[in-house]
Amino acid sequence: MNENTNGVRKILYRSHLLNSVYTTVLIFFIFQILYYFKPNADPIVVSFMITAAVFILTLLLGFTFSYRKGQHVINRLNEISVAIAKLSFSNFDYRIQDSEQDEIGAICSDLNGLTIKVKKQMQSLQKLANEKAEYAERAHTAATIEERQRLARDLHDAVSQQLFALNMMSSAAMKLFDTHPQRAKAQLEQVVEMANKAQGEMRALLLHLRPIDLSGENLQKGIEGLVEELKLKSGIHIESEIHDIPDLSKGIEDHLFRLVQEGLANALRHSNASRLTIVLNHTDQHIRIHIRDNGAGFDLKDKKKTSYGLKTMQERCDEIGGKFSITTAKGKGTAIDVRVPIEERRVSSE
């Protein structure tokens, strides 16, 4: 960063210089007044009064100049802090109004330029997401076949094996029921636990049987239909707050719908929750999706237990320039929050 005559340090030097000049002028006027009135007081008292007056005036002027310049610098730094906070929440329209030609002004100019670059990158990501959605639509048949194959593998690897184990364990428990009732009871408890797990897997797989895209519906209608279907099939208490949101491009809507679908499937498969909450709303700048359950939760630091579904959601959110966050703890449930900037062309048309 190049130094110039208006640098921060030179502003402070100039402030101290002005303070010295004003103090000198005031001292000169004090001596002129004393000379004019020719006081008959004791010279020692006069000298003390002059010294005290000079000290007080110097202190007051120094504090005044330092406070004004310091407060000005603090206000400008606070503007930078506000701009950084807004940028971290994907508010790309905020600009710092600072035209001073010094180091802080140069930082403000660089930060404004960085905001513009990040905004362009976000728009490029959303454009890529739209193009990706168009390509996905053209390859709809191939994607459907691939999805069916994946579901078939999941059914074989998860549910069918669990059902086979349930059959074996329940048959063994029946044989032990008369001779070893305690062992039979323990095995039946394992049967119940495995049945609950298999039921969760089946719910999640059924959720994935929904169409990959919204099939012509908007995001609100698609999520409402998904929630109503889950209320009928899952047996879990689901609360939803689905608000109207601005029109979005097909690519953004498809990504958000798949995020919701993956989040709900993840909760059904892993959380053992009895209650789910989903919220869809928006501000002037963002679309927000919030999914919360009262399930078992997990430790975010334990990467081995991090769900593949959560990683997929993070990737989908990144593709459309959004912010993805997870709040969870063992025994405290899990909350997922997604914030995606509203496309500029949609904001300008409202």
Instruction: Decide the pairing of beta strands 323-328 and 334-341.
Output: antiparallel
Contact 264, 278 (CB under 8 A): yes
What's the pLDDT score for residue 206?
A: 59
Q: Which residue has the higher pLDDT, 302 or 77?
A: 77
Domain 213-350, what fold?
Heat Shock Protein 90 (3.30.565)
Domain range summary for the chain, segments of one domain joined by +: 8-121, 139-209, 213-350
Q: What is the pLDDT of residues 127-169, one digit of tens each?
A: 887 777 777 666 666 656 666 666 666 655 666 666 767 777 7
Using CA atoms, how far apart are residues 181 and 173, in angstroms rounded to an integer?
9
Q: Which two tokens stand for residue 162?
A: 């669990």
pLDDT at residue 345 is higher than 60: no
Q: Which residue has the higher pLDDT, 85 or 292?
A: 292
Q: How confident is the model at residue 324 (pLDDT cuts 50, 70, 90)?
A: very high
Cα of 242 vs its chain's centroid, Å: 20
pLDDT at residue 108 is higher than 70: yes
pLDDT at residue 196 is higher than 80: no
Q: Which two tokens stand for residue 318?
A: 């990144």
Helix (H, G, I), strand (E, B) or coil at 140: helix
Select from 3.40.50.10490, 1.20.5.1930, 3.40.1390.30, 2.170.8.10 the CATH code of 139-209.
1.20.5.1930
Q: What is the pLDDT of residues 18-57, one digit of tens each?
A: 666 666 776 667 666 665 655 565 666 666 666 776 677 7
* Residue 210 DSSP symbol: S
Contact 112, 95 (CB under 8 A): yes
What's the pLDDT score for residue 2?
A: 46
Helix (H, G, I), strand (E, B) or coil at 216: coil
What's the pLDDT score for residue 239?
A: 93
Q: Kindly report the average pLDDT of the chain as a whole number.
A: 76
What's the pLDDT score for residue 210?
A: 53
